[in-house]
Amino acid sequence: MVGQEIFSEALLSGMAEVFETMMFMSVEECNEMYEAIEGEALLSSITFKGAVEGCLGVRCNLNCAQAIARNMLGSDAGQTLSEEEVVDAMGEVANMVLGAVKARLADSVGDIQVSIPTVVKGKELINSLGEQSFEVSKMVHVDEDVAHIILLYRFTTQAN
């Protein structure tokens, strides 16, 4: 069975690559000092199937989501984007990050089939895959904001 550190490393470096190359934003794992994600937040998630199946999620508050969407769209710093534009951008973030993670995991777990992203708005959001799943969860600084990246996964009967 592929160790958790393989998934953890793929998640963090995949996220950093996407944010640095597509949004020109830095991603750094938080040390113990960071602000919790409070109030209304978005959780963008995308599922995958294969020898490993699961769900990748990116969760952040609305301010951080606006900043990510502005950087993706090349908008001015002061501009407020529509909720639909932000939802689209956050869905695309999950899609791109999973693409980068998939490439990193290909040697360990083989190919995975990726679904389409969806975005949930709400408070105190926690996503889960149910029993017998593993979780890699990291708080990261995205420039000055804080985001939470989560990779939930389980090995299927196809796996070794």
Alpha carbon distance 57, 53 (integer Å): 14
**In angstroms, what is the minimal distance from the CB of 31 to a copy of itself?**
26
Q: What does the alpha-carbon distance between residue 54 and residue 93 come to, in Å, rounded to a whole number?
A: 17
Q: Which is nearer to a copy of itself, 19 or 48 (by Cβ)?
A: 48
Please list, in sequence order, all residues whose beta carbon lies within 8 angstroms of the beta carbon of residue 69, skipping any fewer than 6 positions away: 75, 81, 85, 86, 88, 89, 90
Sheet-wide strand order for 40-50? 27-29, 134-142, 145-155, 52-61, 40-50, 112-114
Binding mask 128-147 for a copy of itself (x = CB under 8 A): xxxx----------------
Which lies closer to a copy of itself via its Cβ, residue 26 or residue 63? Answer: 63
The nearest distance, CB 34 to a copy of itself, in angstroms, is: 20
Q: Which of 9, 19, 27, 8 is nearest to 97 (CA)?
A: 19
| Window of 6-14, 65-73, 116-124, 141-149 that interacts with a copy of itself by CB under 8 A | 116-124
Q: Which of 120, 138, 143, 159 binds a copy of itself (CB under 8 A)?
A: 120
Min CB(88)–a copy of itself separation in Å = 4
**Cα–Cα distance, 60 to 65 (Å, whole number):** 6
Q: Is 78 in the site for a copy of itself (CB under 8 A)?
A: no
Contacting positions for a copy of itself (CB under 8 A): 40, 43, 45-49, 53-55, 84-85, 87-88, 91, 115-116, 118-131, 152
